[in-house]
C-alpha cells in the first residue's frame, strides 16, 4: 500500500496557496466573554465554527488549543471532535496544540487519540513535549509517518521561565538544540531534503542562539512559531526573525486576531495575513 | 473562609490507614483483551469500576492513566468523569496521570479541567510536566493550594531516554534536581515541615544521585513512584529504594496487578499490598 501524502508535502502546498499564517482557536473564558458568549461547551462550538468560517479559503492552518476544550470535560471534547471534522471539510490543516508527552504504550494512547487510524479527534499534526526524552517520541514519529501525519516537538518556547530546562546542557548539547538536531535527522531519514513532517515549536520572541539552535542545521525541519501578536513579535518581522528557516515556518496568531469579538474577526485575519505577506518574501529580501 | 484540608494532610492520613500503594487504572487495549473486553468506551467503564471496587477499603490511592481514556475521545472522557465520581464516593484519593504542561492562561485551562472548582474531572491531584520551566507551574500550585489539591511534577522518570533532558544542567543544577529543590521550597512555604501537597514523579528504577537529587533536601515533598512491578522494581525493596523519603512516597503498580484479568485482580491487589507492607517499615529498619 503506498504511503499517504506526507504532512510536510501538504504543509508545503498550503504555504504556496495560503501563506504561512496559522490561526489559533483559543476559546479562553475571557475571550468568550468578549464575544458575548457564556463559558459553556455550546459556546466553544459557536466560537470554533466562527473562526473556521473566517479562515476557510483565506488561511491554510488552524491550531485549536486543547486545554480550553478540556476545561469543559467530555462535552468540550465532543465539540472539539466536531470542529476537527468541520475544519477538514473546509480543507484547513489542523494542528492540535495539546503538548502531550509520555512513554511506551501510554504515548501510543495519545497517538491513537489524535493521529491514529480511528482517532476520535481528526488532526493533521499534534504538538508534543520531549521532557521524557526525544527518543520516547520516536515510536509516535514512525507511526505518524505511516499515516501522513505531522508532529511538532516543543524545543525553544517563548516564556522566559523555560530557559532553565530548554537551555540546560548535557555534554556539549543544549536540550532545545538536541531536539532540533534529532528532528533534522528524523526528517532527513524519511524525506531527504523535502519539507519534513516532524517540526519544532520555537517561539518567535526567542533568540535561537541562546538555545544552541542554528537554522542552517536541520534544514528541512518545519517550525511552529507562536509568539506573534499579543505575545510581542511582529508578523512584519517574520522573515528577519526566522531568516533561512522562514520558508518552513508557520506563524501562529491567536489572541491578537480573536480579541474584539466575532465582528472584527474576518478583518483581523485578513490584516494578519497582509502583515505577514508584506515582509515574508522568502530569502530575506525585505532586509 | 478557612482553607480545605490540604492534599498532603489527606495523603498522610491515607498512608496511615491503607499504606503506600497506589493502583493504576490503565485500560490499555491489550489489557482490555486480557479481561475479555472489547476496545470501546463502554469497556473502560467496566474496567475502571472493577479496579475501583477491588481497591475500595483495601488501597487508598488510584491513578487513572488519562491517555487510555483520551484515545476513546469524548466518550472515553465521559467515562473518566464518572469513574472519578465513583472513586470519590469510594473514598479513594484520585491522582490523574495526564502529564499536562503549558503556560499562562492555557495552564489555567488544565487547572480548571482537573483541579478547579467546577472541574469536570474530579481529582485530588494531577501529574504535570515542567518542560516549559518549573516556574510556569507556580500559578497552578498556588491555585491548587487554595482548593486542597495536589500536583505531581515530573522530575526523574524511569525510562532511560529521559536522561538527556532530566540530567542536563544549567549552571550547577540538573533539571530534575532543580524541580526537586523548587518543590521543596514551595512545600516549605505553605506547609512548613508537614507533608507537602506538591510532589515529584521519581521512577523507582532510577538512581536519584544521577539526577542530582538528594532525599535529604526537600524533606517534606511527597514522591509518586512508578516503576514497580512490570517495569522492574520490587515492592519488597521499597524502603531501601526510597530510604529517608519512603515515608512520603507513593508506590504505584498497574500492569503487574491488572494483567491476568478481573478474576485475579483482588488477589493481585492484596498481594501487592502485602509485598509493600512486608518491607516498608519506615526508617530503613528492614536493612
Tell me which DSSP letter residue B197 carries.
S
The predicted pLDDT at position A231 comes to 77
Question: In whole angstroms, what is the distance from residue B167 CA to residue A269 CA?
Answer: 43
Residues on chain B touching A168 (C-beta within 8 angstroms): 165, 168-170, 174-175
Question: Would you call B168 and A170 a contact, using CB atoms and an 8 Å cutoff?
Answer: yes
CB atoms within 10 A of CB B2: 4
- In the predicted structure, residue B2 carries a pLDDT above the cut 80: no
> Cα B258 to chain center, whole Å?
17
Percent of chain B with pLDDT over 70: 97
Closest-CA residue of A relative to B82 is A74
C-alpha distances in angstroms, B165 versus A166, A179, B52, B130? Answer: 8, 10, 35, 11
**Which stretch of DSSP H or E encloses residue B83?**
helix B73-89
Question: In whole angstroms, what is the distance from residue B153 CA to residue B157 CA?
Answer: 11
Interface with A, mutate which of B168, B182, B205 (most A CBs under 10 A): B168
Residues on chain B touching A132 (C-beta within 8 angstroms): 154, 157, 159, 161-162, 165
Region A234-248 average pLDDT? 94
Tell me which DSSP letter residue A194 carries.
S
Q: Which is nearest to B138 in space by CA: B92, B190, B96, B177?
A: B190
Question: Would you call B169 and A169 a contact, using CB atoms and an 8 Å cutoff?
Answer: yes
- What's the half-sphere exposure (Cβ side, CA atoms, 13 Å) at A116? 15
Domains of chain A and CATH, by start: 7-278 (3.20.20.70)
**pLDDT class of A269 with cuts at 50, 70, 90:** very high
Largest interatomic CA distance in chain B = 53
B283 or B2, higher pLDDT: B2
pLDDT by residue (tens digit) across A92-128? 999 999 999 999 999 999 999 999 999 999 999 999 9
> Cα A88 to chain center, whole Å?
16
pLDDT by residue (tens digit) across A131-172? 999 999 999 999 999 999 999 999 999 999 999 999 999 988
> Cα A13 to chain center, whole Å?
16
Residues on chain A touching B113 (C-beta within 8 angstroms): 67, 70-73
- In the predicted structure, residue B286 carries a pLDDT above the cut 50: no
pLDDT by residue (tens digit) across B195-252? 999 999 999 999 999 999 999 998 999 999 998 987 789 999 999 999 999 999 999 9
Give the CA dihedral A16, A21, A27, A33, nearest 10 degrees. Answer: -130
Interface with B, mutate which of A97, A98, A102 (most B CBs under 10 A): A102
Question: Would you call B164 and A178 a contact, using CB atoms and an 8 Å cutoff?
Answer: yes
Tell me which DSSP letter residue B116 carries.
S
Q: Are A134 and B164 in contact (CB under 8 A)?
A: yes
The predicted pLDDT at position B283 comes to 44
Question: Would you call B109 and A28 a contact, using CB atoms and an 8 Å cutoff?
Answer: yes
pLDDT by residue (tens digit) across A169-195? 998 899 999 999 999 999 999 999 999
Residues linked to residue A223 through DSSP beta bridges, in sequence order: A200, A249
Strand order in the sheet with A169-170: A173-174, A169-170, B169-170, B173-174
At which residue does the C-alpha cell 517499615 appear? B281
Question: Would you call A136 and B161 a contact, using CB atoms and an 8 Å cutoff?
Answer: yes
Question: In whole angstroms, what is the distance from residue A252 CA to residue B45 CA?
Answer: 39
Region B78-90 average pLDDT? 98
C-alpha distances in angstroms, A257 versus A37, A201, A260, A265, A268? Answer: 17, 20, 8, 6, 5
Residues on chain A touching B103 (C-beta within 8 angstroms): 157, 159
User: Which residue in the set A70, A100, A107 is minimally distant from B109, CB to CB?
Assistant: A70
Q: Are A280 and A239 in contact (CB under 8 A)?
A: yes
- In the predicted structure, residue A198 carries a pLDDT above the cut 70: yes
Residues on chain A touching B82 (C-beta within 8 angstroms): none
CB atoms within 10 A of CB A4: 13
Question: Would you call A67 and B134 a contact, using CB atoms and an 8 Å cutoff?
Answer: no
- The whole-angstrom distance between B102's CA and the closest CA on chain A is 7
Beta-carbon pairs below 8 A across chains A and B: 197
Question: Would you call A162 and B132 a contact, using CB atoms and an 8 Å cutoff?
Answer: yes
Q: Of the residues A75, A91, A99, A185, which is catalytic?
A: A99
**pLDDT class of B82 with cuts at 50, 70, 90:** very high
Q: Are A127 and A155 in contact (CB under 8 A)?
A: no
Question: In whole angstroms, what is the distance from residue B41 CA to residue B54 CA?
Answer: 20
At which residue does the C-alpha cell 488519562 appear? B66
Question: In whole angstroms, what is the distance from residue B12 CA to residue B21 CA?
Answer: 13
Q: Which is nearest to A44 in space by CA: B143, B109, B136, B101?
A: B109
The predicted pLDDT at position A230 comes to 75
Percent of chain A with pLDDT over 70: 97
User: Which residue in the set A75, A129, A178 is minimally distant from B101, CB to CB?
Assistant: A129
Question: Would you call A67 and B110 a contact, using CB atoms and an 8 Å cutoff?
Answer: yes
Region B32-50 average pLDDT? 97
Question: In whole angstroms, what is the distance from residue A223 CA to residue A155 CA?
Answer: 10
Question: In whole angstroms, what is the distance from residue B194 CA to residue B212 CA?
Answer: 24
Question: Would you call A170 and B159 a contact, using CB atoms and an 8 Å cutoff?
Answer: no
B30: left (phi over 0), alpha (psi -120 to 50) or beta: alpha
Handedness of CA A33, A37, A39, A44 (dihedral sign): negative
- Note the pTM of the prediction, 2 decimals: 0.96
Interface with B, mutate which of A33, A98, A106 (most B CBs under 10 A): A106
* Mean pLDDT, all residues of chain B: 94
- In the predicted structure, residue A287 carries a pLDDT above the cut 50: no
What is the complex's ipTM, to 2 decimals? 0.96
Q: Are A29 and A212 in contact (CB under 8 A)?
A: no
Q: Residue A236 corresponds to which cell in the numbers above?
A: 512584519
Interface with A, mutate which of B165, B205, B252, B259 (most A CBs under 10 A): B165
- What's the half-sphere exposure (Cβ side, CA atoms, 13 Å) at B29? 13
The predicted pLDDT at position B1 comes to 61
* Pairing, β A249-253 against β A223-225: parallel
Q: Residue B225 corresponds to which cell in the numbers above?
A: 513512584
**Radius of gyration (C-alpha) of chain A in whole angstroms:** 18
Residues linked to residue B228 through DSSP beta bridges, in sequence order: B233
Query: Residue B271: CB partners within 8 Å, gap ≥ 6?
Result: none
Q: Are B193 and B220 in contact (CB under 8 A)?
A: yes
Question: In whole angstroms, what is the distance from residue A143 CA to residue A151 CA?
Answer: 10
Region A255-280 average pLDDT? 90
Residues on chain A touching B65 (C-beta within 8 angstroms): 106, 109
C-alpha distances in angstroms, B23 versus B35, B51, B258? Answer: 17, 8, 9
- The whole-angstrom distance between B251's CA and the closest CA on chain A is 19
Question: Would you call B165 and A175 a contact, using CB atoms and an 8 Å cutoff?
Answer: yes
Residues on chain A touching B80 (C-beta within 8 angstroms): 74
What residues of B act catalytically? Answer: 99
Q: Are A88 and A48 in contact (CB under 8 A)?
A: no
Question: Would you call B72 and A163 a contact, using CB atoms and an 8 Å cutoff?
Answer: no
The predicted pLDDT at position B281 comes to 54
Judged on CB neighbours under 10 Å (0-12, 13-18, 19+), A17 is exposed
* SS3 of residue A211 by DSSP: helix
User: Which residue in the set B102, B154, B159 is minimally distant from A99, CB to CB?
Assistant: B102
Closest-CA residue of A relative to B121 is A73
Closest-CA residue of A relative to B70 is A113
- In the predicted structure, residue B276 carries a pLDDT above the cut 60: yes
- In the predicted structure, residue B287 carries a pLDDT above the cut 70: no
Q: Which is nearest to A211 in space by CA: A160, A170, A163?
A: A163
Amino acid at each position: 500500500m503506498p504511503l499517504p501524502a506526507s504532512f510536510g508535502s501538504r504543509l508545503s502546498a498550503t504555504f504556496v496557496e495560503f501563506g504561512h499564517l496559522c490561526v489559533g482557536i483559543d476559546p479562553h473564558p475571557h475571550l468568550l466573554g468578549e464575544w458575548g458568549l457564556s463559558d459553556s461547551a455550546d459556546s466553544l462550538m459557536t466560537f470554533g465554527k466562527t473562526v473556521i468560517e473566517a479562515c476557510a479559503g483565506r488561511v491554510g492552518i488552524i491550531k485549536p488549543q486543547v486545554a480550553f476544550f478540556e476545561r469543559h470535560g467530555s462535552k468540550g471534547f465532543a465539540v472539539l471532535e466536531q470542529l476537527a471534522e468541520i475544519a477538514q471539510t473546509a480543507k484547513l490543516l489542523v494542528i492540535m496544540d495539546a503538548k502531550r508527552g509520555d512513554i511506551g504504550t501510554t504515548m501510543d494512547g495519545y497517538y491513537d487519540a489524535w493521529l491514529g487510524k480511528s482517532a476520535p479527534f481528526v488532526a493533521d499534526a499534534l504538538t508534543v513535549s520531549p521532557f521524557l526524552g526525544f527518543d520516547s517520541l520516536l515510536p509516535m514519529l514512525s507511526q505518524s509517518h505511516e499515516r501522513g501525519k505531522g508532529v511538532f516537538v516543543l524545543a525553544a518556547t517563548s516564556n522566559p521561565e523555560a530557559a532553565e530546562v530548554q537551555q540546560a546542557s548535557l555534554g556539549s548539547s543544549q536540550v532545545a538544540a538536541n531536539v532540533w538536531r534529532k528532528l533534522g535527522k528524523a526528517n532527513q531519514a524519511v524525506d531527504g531534503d523535502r519539507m519534513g513532517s516532524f517540526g519544532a515549536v520555537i517561539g518567535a520572541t526567542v533568540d535561537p542562539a541562546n538555545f544552541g539552535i542554528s537554522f542552517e542545521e536541520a534544514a528541512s525541519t518545519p517550525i511552529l512559531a507562536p509568539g506573534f501578536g499579543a505575545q510581542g513579535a511582529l508578523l512584519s518581522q517574520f522573515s528577519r526573525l526566522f531568516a533561512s528557516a522562514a520558508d518552513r515556518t508557520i506563524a501562529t496568531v491567536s489572541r491578537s486576531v480573536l480579541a474584539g469579538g466575532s465582528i472584527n474577526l474576518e478583518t483581523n485575519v485578513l490584516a494578519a495575513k497582509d502583515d505577514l505577506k508584506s515582509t515574508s518574501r522568502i530569502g530575506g529580501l525585505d532586509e
